[in-house]
Amino acid sequence: MSEATLERGMNAFREQMNAPVASFFSSCVNCGMCAEACLFYTETGDPKYTPIHKLEPLRRVWEQEYTLWGRLKSMLGLSKPVTDELLEEWETLIYDGCTLCGRCSMVCPVGNDISYMIRRAREGFVAAGYAPEGIKGASRRAITIGSPMGVKFPALAAQIKHVEADSGLTIPVDVEGADYMALLSSMEIMNFPEYLEALAKIFKQAGVTWTISSEAFEATNSGIQIGSSDIARELVNRVVVAAEKLKVKYVISPECGHAYTAIRWEGPNLIGRPYDFKVVHILELLDELRSAGRLKTEGTEDDRLTFHDPCQIVRKGGVLEPPRNLLNMVATNFVDMNDSREMNWCCGGGGGVSANERAEELRIKAFKRKKTQLDELNVETLVTACANCRLIIEEGLEEYRMEMPVVGLTEMIAEHLVEDEK
């Protein structure tokens, strides 16, 4: 990353002033409804966590430089400038107290996309040097090593060998002309390698031709989390180059929320052109295979279980029904949480919060919202489709002494495949 200064931050703020940002600030009626939709406000009761309040530095730049009234106030000395001290004070609000989950945007009476503006505001903060050390480190590793957790391909190759030895399956690598190229998050490689085995089992039964790229296997995009379009663009471009080199038809986004946002929705705009391939989330692909009769399962999960909707995949990505269609294949006692689907509550660790060590106490406090949802249902198992959500929920359950297995949906489907058709 280039040297960060207040001047660079101010320039970055100015570059974010597009029509949507101007429209959103102009139309905000300060009703405060967004507060009740934010788990950082509801679980702390602190007004500083009201979503629109977190945008004060960006709002000041907009008002003072792009509105007549703001310019007059500046000339008369009636408004306060954006300073290093202000950015330092607001840094914890914009990074520790927001997961970019977008729930606040769902309730805004005038349709303001507040999480969009938080994402834009982070561009100014990181350019000015105000971002958490944990996310800075993850971004450096992503650029220099290729993974925010420092996972290199030899580590993935070792996991592939383990999976192949344990299962007898084959994990294809760098196969040119395969239909699908699967991305993984480092968290799946190191914490949940059963996901990789699940892919191999499912694709073998369904007859899917697929591969992993040794040059671009990492799906996590730290650039989106820290708020740097330059970093996000470079990470997306690596995937695009690898996919086009292998001539695949589809790239599969894994069970990782922000990876899906980055490669599916922000990627083409970041690199300035459409892809030569399509992007699908793994749940979308599994649901297509189910619908085509290529996914044969047997047996059922009879425990009372529920599904945690990952914000970026479900609320922002629109993958609402595929997880439910898949769960209904293998679960007899599936129940939805209150406020499920697009209104689900975040786990509290998205948007880079989980990589931000200083935010841990606040994150654990915010997890009380998820605890409340689970207490209302009295379920025995929680299923989700995001490795980050899965880890954060496991930590939250342990903190609040709640014993409950947290299972990845792809893994659950793989466990129910019809044996004689593998």
Residues 284-294: tens digit of each pLDDT = 999 999 999 99
CA 413/CA 284 separation, integer angstroms: 13
272 in the same domain as 149: yes
CA quadruple 172, 173, 178, 179: dihedral sign: positive
CATH of residue 78? 1.10.1060
Do both 280 and 329 map to the same domain?
no
For helices 133-144 and 229-246, the axis angle rounded to 10 degrees is: 30
Residues 13 and 64 both lie in one domain:
yes
Among candidate residues 383, 390, 280, the one with its CA nearest the CA of residue 329: 383
Instruction: State both tokens at 29.
Output: 């009626």
Domains of the chain: total: 3
| Pair 139, 286 in one domain | yes
Residue 421's pLDDT is: 46
Domain that holds residue 239: 135-290
Global pTM reads: 0.94
Specify which residues 306 forms β-bridges with: 382
3-class secondary structure, 181: strand
CB 187 within 8 Å of CB 388: yes
Q: Residue 81 carries which DSSP code? A: P
Indicate the residue among 259, 290, 321 that finishes a domain.
290
Last residue of a domain, one of 71, 102, 131: 131
Q: Answer yes or no: do 276 and 377 share one domain.
A: no
Helix axes 19-27, 56-66, angle to 10 degrees: 100
pLDDT (tens, 9 = 90+) of the chain, 422 residues, equals 568 999 999 999 999 999 999 999 999 999 999 999 999 999 999 999 999 999 999 999 999 999 999 999 999 999 999 999 999 999 999 999 999 999 999 999 999 999 999 999 999 999 999 999 999 999 999 999 999 999 999 999 999 999 999 999 999 999 999 999 999 999 899 889 999 999 999 999 999 999 999 999 999 999 999 999 999 999 999 999 999 999 999 999 999 888 999 999 999 999 999 999 999 999 999 999 999 999 999 999 999 999 999 999 999 999 999 999 999 999 999 999 999 999 999 999 999 999 999 999 999 999 999 999 999 999 999 999 999 999 999 999 999 999 999 999 999 999 999 976 44
127 and 181 together in one domain: no
Point out the domain boundary residue: 84, 104, 131: 131
Of 193, 128, 114, residue with least CA distance to 351 = 114
Asked if residue 245 and residue 211 are part of one domain, the reply reads: yes
**Residue 422 is assigned to a structural domain of this protein:** no
Are 38 and 51 within 8 A, CB to CB?
Answer: yes
In this structure, are residues 373 and 153 in contact, taking their beta carbons and an 8 Å threshold? Answer: no
Specify whether 113 is located in the same domain as 240. no
**Half-sphere exposure of residue 253, counting CA atoms within 13 Å on the CB side?**
27
Same domain, 296 and 406: yes
Sequence-separated (6 or more) residues with CB below 8 Å from residue 352? 95, 132, 134, 135, 138, 222, 225, 226
Count CB atoms within 10 A of the CB of residue 189. 23
Nearest to 232 by CA among 148, 315, 151, 112: 148
Q: Determine the residue type at 316.
A: K
Q: Quote the pLDDT of residue 422.
A: 44
Q: Which residues on adjacent β-strands are paired with residue 381?
A: 305
256/353 same-domain check: no
| Contact (CB, 8 A) for 283 and 326 | yes
44 in the same domain as 172: no
421 in a domain, yes or no? no
Round to whole Å and give the CA distance between 100 and 117.
10
User: Rg of the chain over CA atoms, in angstroms?
Assistant: 22
